[in-house]
Amino acid sequence: MSQFTLTVNGKAHSVNVDPETPLLWILRDTLGLTGTKFGCGRGLCGACTILLDGEATRSCMTPVEYAVEMEITTIEGLSVDSKHSLQLAWIEEEVPQCGYCQSGQIMTAAALMKEKSHPTDEDINVAMRMNLCRCGTYQRIRRAIHKAAQVM
Amino acid sequence: MTITSKISRRDFLKVSSAAGAGLVLGFYLPYRDRLLAAETDSPLDFEPNAWLKIDTDGTTTIMVAKSEMGQGVMTSLPMIVAEELDIDWATVQMVQAPAHPKKYGSQNTSGSRSVRTSWEILRKAGATGRMMLIMAAAKKWNVGIKSCYSDKGTVVHRPSGRRFTYGELVNTASKIRIPSNVSLKNPDDFRIIGKSIPRIDTPSKVNGSALYCNDVKLPDMHYATVSRCPVFGGTVKHFNADATLQSNDVVDVFEIDRGVVVLAKSTWAAIKGKRLLNVTWDEGTNRDLSSKKITQLFNKRSEKKGAVGRKDGNVEKALELSHSTLQASYEVPFQAHATMEPMSCVADVHRDDCEIWVPTQGPQSAQKVVSKLTGFPLDKIKVNVTLLGGGFGRRAFNDFVTEAVQISKKAGKPVKLIWTREDDIHHDYYRPASKHILQGGFDNNKRLIAWSHRIIAPSIIFSEYITFPIPFKEKLDRVALHGAKDLPYTIPNILIDYKMANTAIPVGWWRSVYHSQNAFANECFLDELAESAGEDPFEFRLKLLSNSPRHANVLKLAANKSGWGNPLPQGHYQGISCHESFGSFVAQVAEISINEEKGVKVHRVVCAIDCGQVINPDTVEAQVESAIAYGLTATIKSKITIKNGRVRQSNFHNFKILRMDEMPQIDVHIVSSSESPGGVGEPGLPPIAPAVANAVFAATGKRIRKLPILPKDLKTI
């Protein structure tokens, strides 16, 4: 077991964990931030997406030591009042169905919007194609991203 | 204008008037499978299974025992009550009921039936509550009932303009006898039903606060994974856990019925511990089973007649007399559900009782499972239904509950069982693979006079793990006939038969169940017949739908909205299909192009749906989009194949699902209708595979008779 200091949503946390533990399980089990989801464990579905220094990252494949000294942002820290333009657009477009993949979808979209404040359909295809949704909410995700871009 | 509805004693049990409880109405939502009910026809004992409660502060709570898996049931059911009760939507709260053996009737959430089976009684419940509140106001004012009316959570005395809020009336109302007649609203006056009311669960699903089973945490809870034999029916021969037990935070390794458990202090430790486990399996009798052998079994079974599901006229004779005939066979593979949330269950077994948290479509069968395993009576078993991270039929099976309870019992601790994605793909109850042989015959006027459809497929309801009593005659699985037997086309001679072909592969309900396979066969063959008759596929269908007006209507709507027959962008082609399931009628036009490397690209799907009275139009649209996306994965992306008795696919790299860049534009057109509501979770799925396959024919001249349609299948064209 090893000690690590992680900065999650602007707050420093000291954790004592197996150094092989992927960041996902530290967020979920150790820190109780369960908004980040486990979907595949192999970086294939995007349900576990978080931001590492602003970049969309698969936390299920991220070794804990890699995240040390980086800014970790989870869905819980995307906004203080759940009113990030993407969250509002997600509600307006009624995007979620089962909802399980949506934290990951929103975090990936947040990283995209940081790079491109007005993404094109093709930008959305490229950025979002690694985030799977079995309920097939893609059409609404696309609309919500465009909507959020309008207000940003 | 209003509609008067008689209230029978069977509808409402009682009005509770517990002190301070406000007005509580208990009523019964019939959730039994229509089909099973029709077969057994046993009278149902009246037990209220839902509650409508109005508090003194005016808050209205409706408790319904349905599982929310993305289909919007937590919103659509209360909408119906709120409409007739005439309240402000913002004052409504929905409470998810825990499992109870009797109290709620059947709690199964399946078959697209939540709204359609409870529509009528929910309206009556709301209307009864409203009537009783009006009666209470009239009593308090000492005026005639007819001089009072409801107005969004208040009762108004028309002549004087005096007004009571519902909250002020509930205690008086609770002492009033249930009226024998209530007025239901005229649908033209609906202000909630038929509106796209925002879903109750959406805000919690965009900020990470929605609670799924995987998010449940109890004091001293341990985490468990299970190593199961990859070969179906295999068992543990022996195992070596040395490496696992040396791994950080692993607490114990032991055997349960289905495999070897790694119990740990964290999820990661349990996952890692499982990877380090060395299990030797007795692979049993299925070790040589393969997709090839299953195909051979289907082929062999297809040679003999099956159990007859429908017989109109005399097909054999009609085919003999036909001027021209056509035969084709279609094959559909196994499919995994692959819900985004892998299977999981939290179980806390004590000495005398047990509590579980589970994302299940069958809370009561979960409760029974626990009772059987623990020996506890049902009232000592609490089943909390969490949000479901996708259901699609997979969570009607509670195999993960069995595992979690066995583990918690053995560990003597609360345990969260986590399945990995690999566990999920390897141990599903798959959509049955099937083979379909169709024959058609034309007379010398090119009139279709014969249609036969033989279905060869494993039976779900005759599987060993199905525990409910089967009301069907041996060998005739009526569920397997769904979507085949009810062929809507007017053809004088029809024969539908079913040949059971069970294998060791577990099969189960997969979104739209056998409709997905049967619609593919029906609607592709219809296209082949149209071509053979030299007719347009749309016109050909329309002619045969003269006795099925709702089918004809959606077909025309889809054709019209898609610009059927009009010029398309270069390289684009259309295919059409039409199918009814779960009480709703759907037609789709798929517009595709073919790319040598990438295969079929679906650009746009125009979908017309007649699902009767619509509760929440946006939910209907969302469910149709979802069903099409789900169906497209099975149409152009993935299949489950078997080799050496095990599933070859394991995760999303080889069980590929539809992605953002592959999602077509979907245009949904809802038919305005006052018919009773039909289902919406599943009916959008069956038409998509044949619509795409028929479009591929339009593009290439090649008939697709096997799913999925992969790039390699198009290369030989």
User: pLDDT tens, B144-181?
Assistant: 999 999 999 999 999 999 999 999 998 888 888 888 78
Mean pLDDT of chain A: 97
**CA–CA separation, B81 vs B129, rounded Å?**
9
Closest listed residue to residue B116, CA positions, set B66, B191, B69, B42: B66
Position B469 confidence tier, pLDDT thresholds 50, 70, 90: low
Summarize the confidence of residues A7-31 as an average pLDDT. Answer: 97
Burial class (CB in 10 A: 0-12, 13-18, 19+), A20: middle
CB pairs under 8 A between A and B: 188
User: What is chain B's alpha carbon radius of gyration, rounded to the nearest angstrom?
Assistant: 27
Q: Which two tokens mark B621?
A: 């649209």
Q: What pLDDT, on a 0 to 100 scale, did the predictor assign at position B100?
A: 76
pLDDT in the model for residue B180: 79
Of A44, A82, A135, the CB nearest to B207: A82
Q: Which domains does chain B have, with CATH numbers?
A: 2-205 (3.30.365.10), 213-284+343-418 (3.30.365.10), 291-334+430-715 (3.30.365.10)
d(CA B37, CA B29): 14
**CA A17, A21, A25, A31: dihedral to nearest 10 degrees?**
30
CB within 8 Å of B675: residues ≥ 6 apart: B550, B610, B612, B613
| Per-position DSSP letters for B477-510, written without gaps between them | -TGGGTTTTT--S--SEEEEEEEE---SS-B---
> Hey, are the CB atoms on A74 and B208 less than 8 Å from each other?
yes
Q: Specify the range with the lowest mean pLDDT, choosing from B49-63, B422-436, B565-579.
A: B49-63
Closest CA to B79 of B617, B668, B678, B670: B617
- pLDDT above 80: residue B472: no
Identity of the highest mean pLDDT range in B6-15, B16-25, B96-105, B477-486: B477-486
> Sign of the CA dihedral B466, B471, B477, B481?
negative
B132 vs A119, more confident = A119
Q: What is the DSSP string of B419-455?
A: --HHHHHHT--BBPPEEEEEEEEE-TTS-EEEEEEEE
Judge whether B468 is closer than 8 Å to chain A, CB to CB: no
Q: Is B109 on the interface with A (CB under 8 A)?
A: no
Give the confidence band of B6 by pLDDT, cuts at 50, 70, 90: low
- pLDDT-derived band at B578 (thresholds 50, 70, 90) equals very high
Q: Give CA–CA dist B701/B98, Å, rounded.
A: 54
**Residue B60 confidence (pLDDT):** 86
Contact yes or no for A96 and B657 at CB 8 A: no
The tokens describing B483, both together, are: 């979507």
pLDDT at B45 over 50: no
> Looking at residues B206-229, what average pLDDT do you find?
97
Q: What's the pLDDT score for residue B178?
A: 80
Cα of B321 to nearest chain A Cα, Å: 48
Rounded Cα–Cα distance for residues A141 and B622 (Å): 12
Contact partners, residue B581, CB within 8 Å, separation at least 6: B112, B482, B483, B512, B515, B519, B679, B682, B683, B686
The DSSP call for residue B602 is: E
- Secondary element (H or E) of residue A4: strand A2-8
Question: Cα torsion at A87, A88, A91, A96 (round to 10°)?
Answer: -20
Burial track B245-281 (b if 16+ CB lie within 10 A, e otherwise): eebbbbbbbebbebbbbbbbbbbbbbbbbbebbebeb
User: Please, how many CA atoms are within 13 Å of residue A86, restricted to the half-sphere of its CB?
Assistant: 25
Q: How far apart are CA B606 and CA B584, in angstroms?
A: 16
User: Per-residue pLDDT for B471 more than 70?
Assistant: no
pLDDT at B116 over 90: no
**Average confidence score pLDDT of chain B:** 91
Average pLDDT over residues B18-40: 47
pLDDT attached to residue B29: 52
Both tokens assigned to B359: 């994302």
- Domains of chain A from N-terminus onward: 2-77 (3.10.20.30), 85-151 (1.10.150.120)
B67-96 pLDDT, tens digit each: 889 999 889 988 998 999 999 998 888 887
pLDDT of residue B465: 66
Span A79-137, pLDDT tens digits: 999 999 999 999 999 999 999 999 999 999 999 999 999 999 999 999 999 999 999 99
Q: How far is CA B110 from CA B345, B369, B467, in A?
A: 20, 19, 16
Say if residues A103 and A75 touch (Cβ distance below 8 Å): yes
Q: Between A32, A76, A134, which is nearest B657 by CB?
A: A134
Structure tokens at B62: 């409706």
Quick one: pLDDT band at residue B119, thresholds 50, 70, 90?
A: confident
Name every residue whose Cβ is closer than 8 Å to that of residue B2 and which is 6 or more positions away in sequence.
Answer: B183, B184, B185, B186
| B154/B137 Cα distance (integer angstroms) | 10
How far does the CA of residue B210 sit from the closest CA of chain A (Å)?
A: 8
pLDDT of residue B3: 58
Separation in Å, CA of A27 to nearest CA in chain B: 11
Cβ density class B398-429: b for 16+ within 10 Å, e for less = bbbbbbbbbbbbbbebbbbbbbbbbbbbbbbb
Question: Are B203 and A47 in contact (CB < 8 Å)?
Answer: no
pLDDT for B109 equals 83
> Mean pLDDT across the stretch B195-207?
95
Question: Can you give the pLDDT at residue B716?
Answer: 59
Residue B55 predicted with pLDDT over 90: no
What is the C-alpha separation between A101 and A98, in angstroms, rounded?
A: 8
B663: nearest CB among A90, A96, A136: A136
ipTM topping 0.95:
yes
Rounded distance, CA B221 to CA B8, Å? 48
Q: Considering chain A, what percentage of its residues have pLDDT values greater than 70?
A: 99
The answer on pLDDT for B506 being more than 80 is yes
Classify burial at B9, counting beta carbons within 10 Å of its beta carbon; exposed 0-12, middle 13-18, buried 19 or more.
Answer: exposed
Span B386-424, pLDDT tens digits: 999 999 999 999 999 999 999 999 999 999 999 999 999
Pairing relationship of beta strands A71-73 and A2-8 according to DSSP bridges = parallel
Confidence at residue B474, expressed as pLDDT on a 0 to 100 scale: 60
The kind and range of the H/E element at B178 are none
**What's the one-letter identity of residue B372?**
K
How many Cα atoms are found within 13 Å in the side-chain-facing hemisphere of B363?
30
Rounded to a whole number of angstroms, the distance from the CA of A107 to the nearest CA of chain B is 10
pLDDT of residue B104: 66
Element (H, E) at B205: none
Residue B7 has pLDDT above 60, yes or no: no
- Chain A residues within 8 A of B215 when measuring between CB atoms: 28, 34
Contact B655, B425 (CB under 8 A): yes
Distance from CA of B58 to the nearest CA of A (A): 27
Confidence category of residue B108, pLDDT binned at 50, 70, 90: confident
Nearest to A125 by CA among B594, B341, B588, B598: B598
Chain A hits for B617, Cβ within 8 Å? none
Q: What is the pLDDT of residue B112?
A: 81
What span, in angstroms and rounded, lies between the C-alpha atoms of B405 and B374? 8
Q: Is residue B28 predicted with pLDDT exceeding 60?
A: no
At B325-383, the pLDDT tens digits run 999 999 999 999 999 999 999 999 999 999 999 999 999 999 999 999 999 999 999 99
Q: What is the pLDDT of residues B265-315, one digit of tens each?
A: 999 999 999 999 999 999 999 999 999 999 999 999 999 999 999 999 999
Q: What is the mean pLDDT of residues B538-552?
A: 98
Q: Please judge whether A1 and B71 are an interchain contact, meaning their C-beta atoms are less than 8 angstroms apart.
A: no
